[in-house]
Amino acid sequence: MSVTASVPAKVNVQLAVGGARPDGFHDLANVFLAVGLHDEVTATAADRLRLTCEGPDAHRVPLDRSNLAARAAELLAARHGLAPDVHLHIVKDIPVAGGMAGGSADAAGALLACDALWGTATPQDELLAMCAELGSDVPFSLVGGAALGRGRGELLTPLEVSGTFHWVFAAADGGLSTPAVYREFDRLNPSGVPEPEPSPALLAALRDGDAAALAASLANDLQPAALSLRPSLAATLEAGTAAGALTGIVSGSGPTCAFLTPDAGTAEKVATALRESGTCRTARTTTSPVPGATLVG
């Protein structure tokens, strides 16, 4: 028997970063939107924990127990006194180390698929607590939609969104390490930063489904750090806005760049121009918000 979960990527429409805490994490005001690029995680009963992965980026995904999906299966099994004897197969469509929470998506998918495979019927609040243990972005991968994340991003409040936003995502060659981007953020802000607060204008734009207003309030405090580590992203951002995007922003810790567009037709045009610009590896169109981790078979 097999169970498959489909899990979306995310974009941070606002990522306000506070100073480093004693535990090394940063307090955030993190406004997540789930976007329609998905990984699929299939859990099949096996005689031991085993991991496989397919997709264009599969060679960059670790297949040992450092994989977040394997850690999720181990955590769920331990919580229920079971052995984590499962084969997890990941169909990877989310860029690896791209700032779109691909590993977090796989962790949420593995939890959901293993919970169904093992018949452990874990209550949602316990699943969310396990997600937070696995990583700051994992709870959002489970719930999807739109949410404000406080703390290190794991304390979620769902947000209201009207309509559909049209995006283009430009994936870069190679990834950026999230801890390295936070270290660069600390280096660039030696005298401290203000308390992170969600932007009222941004929350209103989401509520109203107003793409132009959302574009005007998109903000990522990690962008200067990502650009400092990968200066070539400036050309990607420039190419997308020159081609008609309302605006472009680095997605999370990067290096994927996200472009908000007024409609699906413009998104296609921007994606074509980005592919032809030579400033990114590939460009894809998609929409948001979409639901979180879902069992699909």
Our CB check for ligand ATP shows the closer of 27 and 266 to be 27
Q: Is residue 102 part of the contact set for ligand ATP (CB under 6 A)? A: yes
Q: Which residue is nearest to ligand ATP (CB)?
A: 103
Q: At what angle do helices 68-79 and 124-134 cross, to 10 degrees?
A: 130
How far apart (Å, rounded) are the C-alpha atoms in residues 243 and 236? Answer: 11
- Whether 92 sits among the annotated catalytic residues: the reply is no
Q: Alpha helix (H) ranges present in 3-55?
A: none
DSSP 8-class letter at 291:
B
Our CB check for ligand ATP shows the closer of 28 and 243 to be 28
Our CB check for ligand ATP shows the closer of 105 and 243 to be 105
Among 14, 30, 42, 104, binds ligand ATP (CB under 6 A): 104
Catalytic residue among 10, 39, 106, 221: 10
Structure tokens of 156? 């979620």
CA–CA distance from 103 to each of 77, 193, 266 (Å)? 19, 28, 30
CB burial of residue 118 (10 Å; 0-12, 13-18, 19+): buried
Q: To the nearest whole angstrom, how small is the minimum distance from the Cβ of residue 69 to ligand ATP?
A: 5
How remote is the C-alpha of 229 from its chain's centroid? 20
SS (H, E, C) 138-149: HHHHHHECEEEE
Q: Binding marks (x or -) toward ligand ATP, 231..260, rule CB under 6 A?
A: ---------------------xx-------
How far apart (Å, rounded) are the C-alpha atoms in residues 253 and 32? Answer: 13
Q: Binding marks (x or -) toward ligand ATP, 33..72, rule CB under 6 A?
A: ----------------------------xx---xxxx---
Angle at CA 60, nearest 5°, toward 59 and 62?
A: 95
Q: Is residue 279 part of the contact set for ligand ATP (CB under 6 A)? A: no
Place of tokens 């169909």: 91
Catalytic residue among 39, 93, 115, 137: 137
- Which window, 90-98, 194-202, 212-220, 288-296, contacts ligand ATP (CB under 6 A)? 90-98
Q: Is residue 137 part of the contact set for ligand ATP (CB under 6 A)? A: yes
- Which window, 95-103, 158-166, 195-203, 206-214, contacts ligand ATP (CB under 6 A)? 95-103
- Whether 10 sits among the annotated catalytic residues: the reply is yes
Are 159 and 147 spatial neighbours (Cβ–Cβ below 8 Å)? Answer: yes
CA–CA distance from 160 to each of 15, 151, 165 (Å)? 18, 20, 13
Q: Which residues are catalytic?
A: 10, 137
Q: Which residues bind ligand ATP (CB under 6 A)?
A: 61-62, 66-69, 96-104, 106, 137, 175, 178, 252-253
